[in-house]
Amino acid sequence: MRGILFDLDGVLYDGERPIAGAAETVAWTRREGIPHLFVTNTTSRPRAAIVAKLRKFGIEAAVDAVLSPAMAAATWLARQPRGGVALFTAPALREEFKGLDLVEEDARYVVIGDLGEAWDYRKLNRAFRMLMASPEVRLLALGMTRYWQTESGLSLDVAPFVVALEHASGKRAEVLGKPSREFFLAGASRLGLEPAGVLMVGDDIRADVEGARGAGLRGALVRTGKFREGDLAGDVRPDLVLATVAELPRIWPLPW
């Protein structure tokens, strides 16, 4: 193993509380010069807000070291044939797409994020019509989170709107965000490493471990965050199981 992808919530912190030893583990990777990224499926906040949250927990992270669906999408778009990009994302995310040709109509790439209450029929229909304008128009999804818990109750996230557009247009979305293969490959590529040389550390046996392994990375499961013992009884075998992320420096380097 030469590089590490750290999941955030459940691995480095738990909601608003830090996980013991997490800050020291990240400091260790910096000291040892181990390439690493901070991986999140958040599509409502820009990376700067994520960096600020990590700093609150004593974790130093550069903005460029945060791998978010928006950043992965921008990386993916930069490698595609040129074309207009229509963003259906929180306004705060626009900064992540700087340098691309952002348009409101006639896009070649339609990017769906968590617009929340800003969704209405006209916006969804505008995205749909752009998708139908030509077979080459592509649909991108910033993750496939179904819903999240707000103070007022459950709220629809990005996935329901993506499946609505997939069903209506007959196109399949390119999903940038865990557990998509493209997302983990974007992480390895960003580190300048082969996928096989990268360890993904997460608390979600599906989104983190299975997703990473599916893209050719290794997957470590931590017994913190959303981890449940039953996770180990399923069909996904983590390459490594850690009590917490703080164990990592003690067992590094890994034998593979």
Which spans of this chain sit near a copy of itself (rule: CB under 8 A)?
A: 115-122, 124-125, 128-129, 132, 146-147, 153-156, 159-161, 163-165, 167-168
As measured in angstroms, the least distance from the Cβ of 134 to a copy of itself is 13
* CA atoms within 13 A of residue 244's CA, in its CB half-sphere: 17
As measured in angstroms, the least distance from the Cβ of 207 to a copy of itself is 16
Query: Cβ closer to a copy of itself: 116 or 197?
Result: 116
Give dist(CA 39, CA 65) in Å, integer.
Answer: 9
Task: List Cβ neighbours of 7 (8 Å cut-off, separation of 6 or more).
Answer: 39, 40, 178, 200, 201, 202, 203, 204, 208
Query: Cβ closer to a copy of itself: 44 or 80?
Result: 44
Query: Cβ closer to a copy of itself: 4 or 127?
Result: 127
Asked if 43 contacts 143 with a C-beta cutoff of 8 angstroms, the reply is yes
Query: Cβ closer to a copy of itself: 2 or 129?
Result: 129
Token readout for 159 is 């996935």
Query: Cβ closer to a copy of itself: 75 or 180?
Result: 180
As measured in angstroms, the least distance from the Cβ of 124 to a copy of itself is 6
As measured in angstroms, the least distance from the Cβ of 88 to a copy of itself is 12
Per the DSSP assignment, residues forming a β-bridge with 7 are: 39
Assess whether the previous peptide bond of 195 is cis (omega < 30° from 0): no
Residue 181: count of CB within 10 angstroms of its CB: 15
As measured in angstroms, the least distance from the Cβ of 159 to a copy of itself is 6
As measured in angstroms, the least distance from the Cβ of 153 to a copy of itself is 5
Task: List Cβ neighbours of 158 (8 Å cut-off, separation of 6 or more).
Answer: 43, 112, 113, 114, 141, 142, 143, 144, 145
As measured in angstroms, the least distance from the Cβ of 136 to a copy of itself is 17
Query: Cβ closer to a copy of itself: 164 or 232?
Result: 164
Query: Cβ closer to a copy of itself: 78 or 155?
Result: 155
Asked if 196 contacts 214 with a C-beta cutoff of 8 angstroms, the reply is no
Strands 17-18 and 13-14: antiparallel
